[in-house]
Chains A and B, each alone.
Chain A
Amino acid sequence: MSEFLEPFERMLESLSPPATVRSIEAGGDADALWNGIAESGFLDALVPEERGGAGLPLAEVCALWQALGRHAVPLPVGETMIARALLADAPDGPIALASAGPGAATVVPFGRVARHVLLEFGGRLCLVEASGEETGVAGSLAARMIWDAAPAEVVGAAPAGGLRAIAAVLRAALIAGAADRLTAMTAAYANERVQFGKPIGKQQALQQQMALMAEDMVACRIAAQLGCAGDLQPGLVAAATAKSIASTAAARLAATAHAVHGAIGISEEYDLQLYTRRLHEWRLADGSETYWNRLLGAARLGDARGSVDYVREAL
């Protein structure tokens, strides 16, 4: 386990409690949170040491990304880590990631709270100022953005495999972190909530569903770790596996967490929704399970190896 995880997690606990998350989602000022995270130095976790960063391998940063999901951090911290590693001269402030084609509206995660967007457009990376319209979805930090033509602010060629691949791996890690928090919250609630004279967690029907949550949670974590086993240019098989598994599990995890919590889980004041809303948004962002399954299926059918050899050698 990364030695950096504990201080990072401690920082998020103090800087990004649910009240802060809600305030920023409601349009409140995010500068204090951003400055606190920026001062910690973690934004340069992936930047090579010769450029003044920490030069951590992605496998180690995976745990930090999961922590961001576990705390529902309302800023593009993982995205900015990627952008700062890819850009020789990154601007200050939060940076969102997007992959888009001409004229197609794109939902950019954290687009509302980002200052810049690192955009892959026509095979090139561009760094543009974040501007778009709100999605109109309650509490969402995403924004809808449209680029009709290639932006002038080209900063380089797109990474091999595309920006979407590493963004999908980040999304898988965020899902894994939120899944961890959601599973713990739901187990704790099941042990507290009494109906029919005993905690509902004693009901076998409920225990069986909770066991599936644990399975999905662990599968998400391992999938995210597989996606993060390489560098910022993950191979298709690794990226697709990570996002396919995490996206499929995200919807199931949210459904069971809500089913166990009952009506209170739907309420705004209860924290559950901070995580389930994110699971659904992250499931859709950077390609759903079927998007990645199609790409992975095409690669698999073009390969003569047996299935076990294929996953063993390609992952």
Chain B
Amino acid sequence: MPVFDTLSLASLPQADEAIRPAIRAIAAEAAAAAGADRRARSWQGYDPAFSRRLGEAGFLGLTLPERYGGHGRGPFARFVVVEELLGIGAPVAAHWIADRQSAPLILNFGNEAQREFYLPRIARGEIFFCIGMSEPGSGSDLASVRTRAERTESGWRVNGQKIWTSGAPHCDYMIALLRTSGSAEDRHAGLSQLIIDLKAPGVTIRPIRDLAGDEHFAEVFFEDVDLPADALIGNEGEGWKQVTAELAFERSGPERIYSSVVLLDAWVRHLQAVGRDDPATLALVGDFTARLGVLRAMSIACTARLAAGESPVTEASLVKDLGTAFEQQLPVAIGDDLAAHPDQAVDAELYRTLLYVTHVAPSFSLRGGTREILRGIIARGMGLR
């Protein structure tokens, strides 16, 4: 299958491996005081002080040019940093979207003034972004968004609503996909991306509590929100193209394989503590270990395509779908394993971690594109239409 031939074993360059000890030390500081059930929240864990600390230490905006406050490194360096943060479950939610996809988007499609205005502050961990894509009537069918931005004499006026916006209650800005011309029937045409200052008059944010008791996502309402002309990012009418490129960044990182890794480690430590080594347990541990190893190698292979300047949309979808299936199977299998041994007491922290991951696991294959959408992208990559 020629389309997937480019996904091949790659290794992290030595220069990028070299930054691992420093980021590991900072991540360990943040995680030291937190129990496994808290660390399992990782990229839902909001800690702006920690994000600023990462910025001061030079671990945000890694891939941005130095003239914008970045560090001129490549996707491999970012892989190392993200792996260290997620592997231990450090609280990264505050800066997550800004660092992962808003900054590359502004760098790629923004004008010089926008770059100078936003990028240095993102790299310092001072401003946080969220993504305005989903709407009440637009989930997987993203091109059907109805929230509009109309041209005014001084810029833009926005009316409508976004929903399931992760981090909105804590963020400074939203990069929203909006309709700037035509109607929902025009599909991909007439969509644009605008940067919305969430403190602007007319913006109302209502947090939504999730089934685990957390409030990380929200509804965001826009009522005659006036924005300046330079709120437009990239070109008017090219929002779909820009969003597609953005999603390649969103889908290809190690966050798509590590969502349950804090639970995996807590379970392995439990097995070690109780000394269980029957053949079925060993086979289960071995299966997870093999899959984690291959998924990590696949994620690095995908990062190598990013590093080569490509936009590996199909490849990233493939790694994400396989990765989230693994992330979702872990809590199911670990729950069965623990409850199959009622005489080996499970401590309260492991139990809370297990149930937290079990409850939020459905979101792993929703956020960033559902399983069905991703498999459709892969099928098209295989030549099926």
Contacts and interface: CB of A to CB of B under 8 A. Distances in A.
B298 A219 contact: yes
Contacts of B294: 219, 222-223, 226, 241, 245
Contacts of A225: 8-9, 297
Interface in B290-304: 290-294, 296-298, 301
Contact of A308 (B87, B285, B374, B375): B87
Interface stretch (A22-30, A128-136, A158-166, A289-297): A289-297
B286 A294 contact: yes
A207 B376 contact: yes
A226 B9 contact: yes
Given A214-B318, A221-B7, A297 B282 contact: yes
Nearest to B295: A219
B7 A241 contact: no
A307 B268 contact: yes
A207 B224 CA distance: 43
Interface residues of A, number: 56
B379 A293 contact: no
Contact of B321 (A1, A184, A215, A309): A215
Interface stretch (A115-123, A143-151, A298-306): A298-306
Contacts of B289: 237, 241, 296-297, 300, 307, 310-311
B292 A311 contact: yes
Main secondary structure of the interface of B (DSSP, over half): helix
B381 interface: yes
B3 to A, nearest CB: 9
B318 A301 contact: no
A244 B290 contact: yes
A32 B225 CA distance: 79
Interface in B34-77: none
Nearest to A220: B294
Interface string A227-263: 0010000000100110011001000000000000000
A294 B385 contact: no
Interface string B369-384: 0001011101101111
B258 interface: yes
B161 to A, nearest CB: 29
A244 B293 CA distance: 11
Contacts, number: 169
Interface in B272-291: 272, 277, 279, 281-291
A207 B379 contact: yes
Contacts of B88: 306
Given A301-B272, A308-B258, A204 B292 contact: no
B1 A184 contact: yes
Given A292-B286, A296-B289, A308-B258, A301 B268 contact: yes
A183 B261 CA distance: 31
Residue of A188, A204, A218, A309 with highest tally of chain B CB at under 10 A: A218
B286 A212 contact: no
A191 interface: yes
B16 to A, nearest CB: 13
A298 to B, nearest CB: 5
Interface string B85-118: 0011000000000000000000000000000000
A190 interface: yes
